[in-house]
């Protein structure tokens, strides 16, 4: 929240929507053409540098909605491994929110430079095709298919937390502050 507010203070035209701003209904009333006019999406995660923690904020609200995600929270290393190359802007690549705001303002006015963030859609490399095939299906459908597939090796665990979060730093496992 602090970083997003600093972007706005630096002069970037930021539209704030959601429960935090008590205007979820206002967002839901936006037309498709209004939503399509947004070029960027602040894909800010609720945690910082947690392994493989990239949510619908990035995938659905950013990439799949035709916007360039501005990433905060997920590490650059994770993004390089998980996302199509050149498809996002990472806040860690800028000295300050002001520098990022300046870059986004310039990018907004340069359609050629802006369109480069969508090259991965036009001519996807091998890594991008692999990434897209993984995220092509929603989690629930994939889980359902796995559970219904008799050939899938089933295994049970006493503690899902110990299985999933063995190497995760404690800060990533805490609830919201």
pTM score above 0.75: no
* Domain parsing of the chain, residue ranges: 2-173
- Residue 10 pLDDT class (50, 70, 90 cuts): very high
Measured CA to CA, the distance from residue 135 to residue 89 in angstroms comes to 20
CATH of domain 2-173: 3.40.50
- Tell me the pLDDT tens digit for each residue of 141-155: 666 666 666 665 666
Nearest partner of 63 among 71, 53, 72, judged by Cα? 71
- Tell me the pLDDT tens digit for each residue of 47-71: 888 888 888 889 888 988 899 999 9
């Amino acid at each position: 929240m602090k970083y997003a507010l600093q972007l706005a203070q630096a002069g970037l035209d930021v539209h704030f929507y959601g429960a935090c701003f008590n205007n979820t209904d206002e967002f839901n009333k936006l037309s498709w053409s209004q939503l399509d006019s947004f070029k960027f999406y602040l894909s800010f995660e609720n945690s910082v540098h947690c392994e493989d923690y990239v949510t619908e904020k990035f995938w659905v609200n950013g990439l799949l909605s035709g916007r360039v995600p501005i990433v905060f929270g997920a590490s650059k290393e994770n993004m390089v491994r998980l996302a199509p190359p050149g498809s996002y802007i990472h806040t860690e690549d800028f000295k300050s929110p002001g520098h990022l705001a300046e870059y986004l303002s310039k990018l907004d006015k340069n359609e050629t430079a802006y369109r480069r963030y969508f090259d991965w859609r036009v001519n996807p490399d091998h890594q991008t095709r692999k990434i897209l095939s993984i995220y092509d299906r929603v989690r629930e459908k994939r889980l359902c298919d796995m559970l219904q597939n008799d050939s899938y090796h089933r295994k049970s665990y006493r503690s899902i937390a110990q299985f999933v979060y063995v190497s995760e730093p404690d800060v990533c496992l805490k609830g919201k502050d």
